[in-house]
Structure 1
Amino acid sequence: DGDPADPDPLTMRGKGWIREIVSHFLILSILGGGLVFLYKKASQIPLLTSLSYFKPVFIVAFSLLGLMVLIFAFQLFSSVRLERFSPGNPGSLKRLEGIRRFRLPRHYVQLQETWPAYRADFLERYKEKGWKDLGGQPFEAVMARKRSLPSFGRPPLVDRLFIFYHPMMNVIIVDQILKECERLIEADYDRLPARRNRLVFLTDMKNRDEVTSAGAGVVNYLCTPLHKVSLYPVLVDMDAGRFFYPLDTSLAKSRHRFHYWRCRLALRAWIKRKAKETSSKHPQETSA
């Protein structure tokens, strides 16, 4: 499997990434410096400055340079933001650990101690919103809710939700459950057409490294198991207070992306609110 210290082949970062960024930066710096130098020298020659196209030429040149800088900045941002994290590489997992967006506020840790009924509360939350539990192992629940769209005589479109709990979560389990969800979505599509599908992983495992590797499986997921169908997973780490979700959803429809964004924010806010409510009911665990 290779030395864990080696650059991870699944990531967009490493020694090659740094060399590429530095080389692009140097090229842009040389081009920019050369263009400025050329403009200053040309401005000192009256014969050139008297030409009607003198300024337009340099305006176009500087505009092209600015466009190149914007493209470089976008590539730099994308290569950092859309890294594919390797579950087996300590360096890659350390970078994942350092991403603040996946952390709940600092005091939201060991939530299973102050919120022992969280699994039941998750199910109840969705039932109160009109989701019907369809059952089905190995999931905690498989739920569906009709969408308010005309069906024209065909089975009505639904949204589907999978909830999966495991006390020993790892990336292998995450991968298996994602594949099982994809299989069910495809197998049931004629009977239960769900183009928007969500999956909530729950764990209260205390092995932080294993949960981080499981989180990498969620963060790397591209959300498009089938044409026009999307699956959006999140992983809630109750012990360490983390909330993992996919970084790259660009392959999913824009309407689906907006839907998942709203659902993710709502779920995160609900977790924080419930955790705060339950912590006030269990002061002895909170202060322990």
Structure 2
Amino acid sequence: MRGRGWLKDIISHFVIVCLLGAALVVLYKKAMGTPDLKDKSWISTIFTVAAVLLALMVIIFIRQVFTRVRLERFRPGNPESLARLDRMRRFHLPERYQQLQETWYEARSDLCQFYIDKGWRPLKRKPFDVVLQRYRKLPSFGRAPYVDRLFIFYHPMLNVLIVDQTLNMCERAIRMSYKTAPAPKNMIVFLTDMDHAEEVTSAAAGIVNYLCRLDKKTSLYPLLIDFNGGKLYYPIDTTLVRKSHRLSFFKARVQLTRFVRKQIPKEMSLEEPMDTI
């Protein structure tokens, strides 16, 4: 999360980079204006190296600025932090998807069927809506075959505590079944239609802040569909997760987004019949 001195640090770093750049330009002009130094080859080499180092500092500064803005860790109990999270457009579906529960009555069963049609096999339910599993196309060499696991969890009064508890349950289930059904890639889809926007955003903070990594080879990627608010939340920082897992989770998120977008019925214009004489 952003500290109190976030803006002060950015400004101070910017000033330092500008001063170093200005000093380098002044020294270069003075060196080129001195006859004894102008023709020395090592002078050009020194200034070239200095310019490269300055360019690296500029790149690091720019990355630092964008990283601090993009990877903010949101505080569930802080209204200002939650307001920033609520305004982030990346999580917003188009406005017509708000109050989706009013038109998509069978969302939970349809979502389960969506994954079953893609080859996922339902295993058990409690305490989740359903737990699905899919075998991976990898040789097991005599060991238990690798699987992908998907949890679906609906709660009408979701909050950040329930999100944290559910993620902990998923982590325990993944570790307990690692010998019999090892699952390096795991996902959980949270569903809620609660109309209390602040509570939903607070719960979403637990999703957005989640780092997704259980250990070096195992990851858990949470998603939250807010039917009432028309939003789809997901973790911002997945840098600790293996690149292959990141790509797989990105594809899964895109597929889920497309599936949700298909649930709005097309508006049909009814043409009134013309009167005949």
Residue 72 in structure 1 maps to residue 56 in structure 2: no
Q: Which amino acid is 2:25 matched to?
A: V
Residue 29 in structure 1 maps to residue 18 in structure 2: yes
Partner Cα separation in structure 2 for residue 280 and residue 112 of structure 1: 17
Residue of structure 2 equivalent to 1:250: 239
After TM superposition, the score normalised by the length of structure 2 is: 0.94
Residue of structure 2 equivalent to 1:157: 146
Residue 43 in structure 1 maps to residue 32 in structure 2: yes
The answer to whether the 8 A contact 1:147-1:156 is kept is yes
Residue of structure 2 equivalent to 1:177: 166
Q: Which amino acid is 2:81 matched to?
A: S
Match runs of 1:140-151 below 5 Å: 140-151=129-140
Residue of structure 2 equivalent to 1:202: 191
Q: 1:80 to 1:149 in 2, by over 3 A?
A: same
What is the count of residue pairs matched by the alignment? Answer: 269
Q: Which amino acid is 1:156 matched to?
A: P
Q: Which 4+ stretches in 1 moved above 6 angstroms? A: none
Partner Cα separation in structure 1 for residue 191 and residue 25 of structure 2: 57
Residue of structure 1 equivalent to 2:275: none
Partner Cα separation in structure 2 for residue 204 and residue 80 of structure 1: 29
From 77, 80, 84, the equivalent of 1:88 is 77
Deviation at 1:173, TM superposition (A): 0.5
Secondary structure of the corresponding residue to residue 80 of structure 1: helix
Secondary structure of the corresponding residue to residue 60 of structure 2: helix
Q: 1:279 to 1:180 in 2, by over 3 A?
A: farther
The answer to whether the 8 A contact 1:203-1:237 is kept is yes
Partner Cα separation in structure 2 for residue 211 and residue 72 of structure 1: 34
1:63-111: CA deviation from partner (whole Å, max 9, x where unpaired): 1100000011111111111111100001111111121111112221111
Residue of structure 2 equivalent to 1:270: 259
After TM superposition, the score normalised by the length of structure 1 is: 0.90
Partner Cα separation in structure 1 for residue 131 and residue 45 of structure 2: 63
Deviation at 1:279, TM superposition (A): 5.4
The answer to whether the 8 A contact 1:141-1:162 is kept is yes
Residue of structure 2 equivalent to 1:8: none
From 215, 223, 231, the equivalent of 1:234 is 223
Give the % identical residues: 52
**Structure 1: gaps spanning 5 or more residues:** 1-10, 284-288
Partner Cα separation in structure 1 for residue 70 and residue 207 of structure 2: 15
The answer to whether the 8 A contact 1:236-1:243 is kept is yes
**Structure 2: gaps spanning 5 or more residues:** 271-277
The answer to whether the 8 A contact 1:115-1:279 is kept is no
Partner Cα separation in structure 2 for residue 130 and residue 280 of structure 1: 32
Partner Cα separation in structure 1 for residue 119 and residue 267 of structure 2: 29
Partner Cα separation in structure 2 for residue 66 and residue 94 of structure 1: 36
Deviation at 1:205, TM superposition (A): 0.6
Partner Cα separation in structure 2 for residue 40 and residue 107 of structure 1: 61
Residue of structure 2 equivalent to 1:286: none
Q: Which amino acid is 2:199 matched to?
A: E
1:106-141: CA deviation from partner (whole Å, max 9, x where unpaired): 221111111111111101101111111111311010
Secondary structure of the corresponding residue to residue 107 of structure 1: helix
Residue 134 in structure 1 maps to residue 123 in structure 2: yes
Deviates more, 1:87-96 or 1:98-107: 98-107
Partner Cα separation in structure 1 for residue 213 and residue 164 of structure 2: 14
Match runs of 1:183-222 below 5 Å: 183-222=172-211
Q: CA RMSD in A?
A: 1.4
Residue of structure 2 equivalent to 1:20: 9
